[in-house]
Amino acid sequence: MKVDFSKMKTFKILLIAFATGLAIITFSCQEKSLVKNIDQEIMINVPESELYVRVRGNAEKPLIINLHGGPGGYSGIDIKLMGPGLEDKFMVAYLDQRGCGKSSACSDTARLNVEQYIQDLDIVIDSLMNRYNKKKVNLMGSSWGGMYGFLYMLSHQGKINSYACIEGKANSNYQNHSLIDFEIKKANELLQTDISDSRKSELKFIVSELKRIKRSNFEHFHIDVNWMKHEVPPKLGFNAYFADTSKIISFKDVLQDTALMKLMKYSEDEYAQVGKKQK
């Protein structure tokens, strides 16, 4: 049988070209995958402090800045709670606020105020937009973080694409009036039961104070709300947060969860400092 060497040569050339092309495509895909999935720890300079930011997820997608609760919380736990649902579709920056988490401890407590926090967040946003070439960012805040994001939005909407408030306090007026109504009703129900005169006096005082606060429209907000949420409920036999506090993750629980500690990149000594800063 006669072999056509010219055709074999052509076939070999095509085979080599195909293999080379396949290798280039495979390498390119691997390189792209490595580039877009990031996990970076950075420190951002703010007035008289440094703020810790952990940036994780898809670098090719929109940037979300996560604002933890508190004031005085930390962002590490949010990586476990929110990361699995977000980091494939977004790049998420987990910020430790001034004096919190892995950010520098705050020796000057006079700087722990809303105006300073808003300035801090503005610096963080500018830094992250420049670093990752983003024209705008998305804000996401839980509890105090939801209020923090809302306060920032009042004067800096131009840099924000979207804002997600998770159980934040932007609607606290409605929540506090609902709590007052609930507590007055609860106290009046207890007054109808067979109780001592001293107990009746205590309950009548609670009702009168709640009505005063409602009429005053929270003139002394911090004092009044703390009293409503932390002193009155135990006297009326309920939890103001309507939650089973036994299920809250404790300091000891976190320390014993080695996988969580590794995910958050905390040593035991580092995590012990979180509680000290929080106070």
Place 13 in a pLDDT band, splitting at 50, 70 and 90.
low
Place 181 in a pLDDT band, splitting at 50, 70 and 90.
very high
Residue 47 has a pLDDT of 95
Quote the CATH superfamily of domain 37-170+250-278. Alpha/Beta hydrolase fold, catalytic domain (3.40.50.1820)
Mean pLDDT, rounded, of the chain: 87
Cβ–Cβ under 8 Å, residues 268 and 252: no
> Would you kindly state where each structural domain of the chain is located, as residue ranges?
37-170+250-278, 172-236
Tell me the pLDDT tens digit for each residue of 259-279: 999 999 999 999 988 888 776
Tell me the pLDDT tens digit for each residue of 113-154: 999 999 999 999 999 999 999 999 999 999 899 999 999 999
Residue 102 has a pLDDT of 95
Place 250 in a pLDDT band, splitting at 50, 70 and 90.
confident
- Which of 31-40, 79-88, 222-231 is least confident? 31-40
Taking 50 as the threshold, does the pLDDT of residue 33 lie above it?
no
Residue 246 has a pLDDT of 63
